[in-house]
Homo-oligomer: A and B are copies of this chain.
Amino acid sequence: MRIDDPTPGSASLPREASASPQPAVEFSFEPLTPTSFLTRSAIVHRDRLAVFDGGLRLTYSELRERAGRFAGALEALGVEPGGRVAVIAANSHLMLEAHYGVPLAGAVLVALNMRLSPGELGYILDHSGATVLLCDNELQSLAGDAIAASSGAARLVNATQYAELIERSSFVWRGVPDERGLLSINYTSGTTGRPKGVMYHHRGAYLQSLAMAFHARLHPESVFLWTLPMFHCNGWCFTWAVTAAGAQHVCLPRPDPEAIWRLIDEAGVTHFNAAPTVLTDLAGHPAAHRPDRPIHIATGGAPPSPALMERFAALGIEITHLYGLTESFGPVVICDWKAEWDELPAERRAQLKARQGVGNVIAQPVRVVGPHGSDVPADGETLGEIVLRGNDLMLGYFQDPEATAAAVPDGWFHTGDLGVMHPDGYVELRDRLKDVIISGGENIASVEVEQAVASHPAVLEVAVVARPDRRFGERPVAFVRLVPGGEASEAEIIEHVRTRLARFKAPSEVVFRSELPRTATGKIQKFVLRTQLSQALGGQDQIER
């Protein structure tokens, strides 16, 4: 059989033709969407393990099949393109499949934080207008309470029903008409009011996924452990990045240190992401040991403490420090490490690693701006607000143009985080705007004091918050958790800080605690500490211990 030749052959080059660069037929434009990574991996890695979830194993072709059938099920349930589908589930194949099945139906994923209250979840269900709520069987009671606390528009589908739907539904794989269309809505934790719905677009998730795969150096032999919640910024887009790399997703419902250490060996884990608090638990666990292969951890939310970094370095595990917000698809900034820094003394390395860093490979350069929107000097000292723009920024807050306009007053997203620009172009956070302590008319960045406290070898974790003070307005108080077996007195820690910072920045008091209150995503809840302080204070100046 001879193949007919459809190629141009000896086509002439008419000089009179127009120079328009736009082709007659659209063949060089495909909308960017993270579901395309599943298309590819279901071809390239069809028979290789995509998902390892307890007793369940899925290949990439099975993951694709299930995602397409879930899309079909959503259509059968009456979900229309643009409709919202909420999911409340621990890290699992179900939550991962939703990251593909929902967009494949042309719908919008609303991954819910499973640690919220029914009232909060009910608010989000109503605000997002979700018509379906998919849940783990373990969370069915919470899901039911959430619907009861809402206007009741969402239909509940539990994991058992989901499995039946997948079984009998037809395969659907809708194209993406507009790469800037809505992919998911991620609700912020709402520390300053009602949760806001951060709108992610396909283009941003696609590019951010490529950036994450690149910086984490994911490849087809990587094994990624889901210690970070998938409901947190869609798992920093690793829900898609791991698939882009053709790597393996290992699901873990909760970041239990014992399970993590066990899976590191059993599943051959090479990568995971976690808040420093999770890493702290991991470092202190009796099962901690040096794995038989290189492991790469990314952490964010707070800088890893020097003690934590030394502990993991001793285990042969590398930590990358990242920074981002829900509004920036997770890690928009990365503390890109340089080989030449390996030669520096440990203390200097810890300082460099504590910096949030530089924009990731697809991000626009990070800026630190003063009150009038101009860049602060890159002197490592002048405080300013960190502002962002670029393809990995949200479209805005869902149904809240007012909040969007307030967060983006000048074409730049204002993070509310205060930081400095170092002379080498690396950004370092000093504080949340609202966490700044004003003492005697001077700003004290609580993060700066925390780092000074954390540099004491006996300190495992620390949070510094303001205590109202008659004379100075506010004074810093340090809440400290010591390393196991560690010993330090209040005076010793205050003195330790005074050798590192201006005297007025040293905490007036040190409160020792065995646990610090944390958010659902593992961040220390400073507002809880502040509340405890003000309650303890009553009318007094002095907190009781």
A contact set with B: CB distance below 8 Å: 1-15, 17-19, 21-30, 32, 36-37, 39-40, 43-48, 127, 180-182, 192-194, 196, 199, 201, 203-204, 210, 213-214, 217, 219-221, 244-246, 336, 338-339, 358-359, 361-365, 370-371, 383-385, 389-414, 416, 418, 424-425, 433, 436, 438, 443
Q: Which of A365, A392, A436 has the most CB of B within 10 A?
A: A365
Query: What residues of chain B lie closer than 8 Å to A193, measured between beta carbons?
Result: 9-12
Query: What residues of chain B lie closer than 8 Å to A12, measured between beta carbons?
Result: 193-194, 402-403
Query: What residues of chain B lie closer than 8 Å to A398, measured between beta carbons?
Result: 19
Pair B18/A399 contact, Cβ less than 8 Å: yes
Residue of B nearest to A23 (CB): B396
Query: What residues of chain B lie closer than 8 Å to A365, measured between beta carbons?
Result: 39-40, 43
- The smallest beta-carbon distance between A530 and chain B, in angstroms, is 17
Pair A26/B244 contact, Cβ less than 8 Å: no
A13 touching B385 in the complex, CB below 8 Å, given contacts A336-B44, A394-B28, A425-B44: no
Q: Compute how far the CA of A418 lies from the CA of B2 in the bound complex, rounded to whole angstroms.
A: 11
Pair A2/B438 contact, Cβ less than 8 Å: yes
Q: Compute how far the CA of A363 lies from the CA of B210 in the bound complex, rounded to whole angstroms.
A: 13
Query: What residues of chain B lie closer than 8 Å to A389, measured between beta carbons?
Result: 27-28, 30
Residue of B nearest to A10 (CB): B193
Residue of B nearest to A108 (CB): B21
Query: What residues of chain B lie closer than 8 Å to A19, measured between beta carbons?
Result: 398-399
Residue of B nearest to A43 (CB): B425
Pair B14/A407 contact, Cβ less than 8 Å: no
Query: What residues of chain B lie closer than 8 Å to A11, measured between beta carbons?
Result: 193, 196, 400, 402-403, 406
Query: What residues of chain B lie closer than 8 Å to A27, measured between beta carbons?
Result: 389-390, 393, 408, 411-413
Pair B433/A3 contact, Cβ less than 8 Å: yes
Query: What residues of chain B lie closer than 8 Å to A9, measured between beta carbons?
Result: 192-193, 406
Q: Compute how far the CA of A29 lies from the CA of B410 in the bound complex, rounded to whole angstroms.
A: 14
Pair B425/A371 contact, Cβ less than 8 Å: no
Q: Is the interface of A mostly helix, strand, loop or mixed?
A: loop
Query: What residues of chain B lie closer than 8 Å to A2, measured between beta carbons?
Result: 436, 438, 443
Query: What residues of chain B lie closer than 8 Å to A18, measured between beta carbons?
Result: 399, 401
Pair B402/A246 contact, Cβ less than 8 Å: no
Pair A21/B395 contact, Cβ less than 8 Å: yes
Q: Compute how far the CA of A10 lies from the CA of B408 in the bound complex, rounded to whole angstroms.
A: 15
- The smallest beta-carbon distance between A415 and chain B, in angstroms, is 8
Query: What residues of chain B lie closer than 8 Å to A210, measured between beta carbons?
Result: 210, 214, 361-362
- The smallest beta-carbon distance between A62 and chain B, in angstroms, is 15
Pair A336/B15 contact, Cβ less than 8 Å: no
Residue of B nearest to A394 (CB): B28
Residue of B28, B32, B44, B358 near A393 (CB, 8 A) is B28
Q: Compute how far the CA of A384 lies from the CA of B36 in the bound complex, rounded to whole angstroms.
A: 25
Q: Compute how far the CA of A12 lies from the CA of B400 in the bound complex, rounded to whole angstroms.
A: 8
Pair A395/B23 contact, Cβ less than 8 Å: yes
Q: A2-B443, A7-B433, A30-B364 are in contact. List 9 more A-B contacts (CB 8 A).
A: A1-B443, A11-B193, A21-B199, A24-B404, A40-B358, A44-B358, A48-B338, A213-B361, A244-B361
Q: Compute how far the CA of A424 lies from the CA of B201 in the bound complex, rounded to whole angstroms.
A: 32
A-B residue pairs in contact (CB < 8 Å), sample of 24:
A2-B443, A3-B384, A3-B443, A6-B371, A6-B385, A6-B409, A6-B414, A8-B192, A9-B406, A11-B406, A13-B194, A14-B400, A17-B399, A19-B398, A21-B182, A21-B395, A22-B180, A27-B389, A28-B393, A28-B394, A36-B364, A43-B365, A43-B425, A46-B425
Pair A390/B28 contact, Cβ less than 8 Å: yes
Pair A361/B40 contact, Cβ less than 8 Å: yes
Residue of B nearest to A129 (CB): B19
- The smallest beta-carbon distance between A209 and chain B, in angstroms, is 10
- The smallest beta-carbon distance between A328 and chain B, in angstroms, is 10
Pair A13/B411 contact, Cβ less than 8 Å: no
Q: Compute how far the CA of A406 lies from the CA of B25 in the bound complex, rounded to whole angstroms.
A: 11
Q: Which of A23, A389, A438 has the most CB of B within 10 A?
A: A23
Residue of B nearest to A219 (CB): B217
Q: Compute how far the CA of A32 lies from the CA of B179 in the bound complex, rounded to whole angstroms.
A: 13
Query: What residues of chain B lie closer than 8 Å to A397, measured between beta carbons?
Result: 13
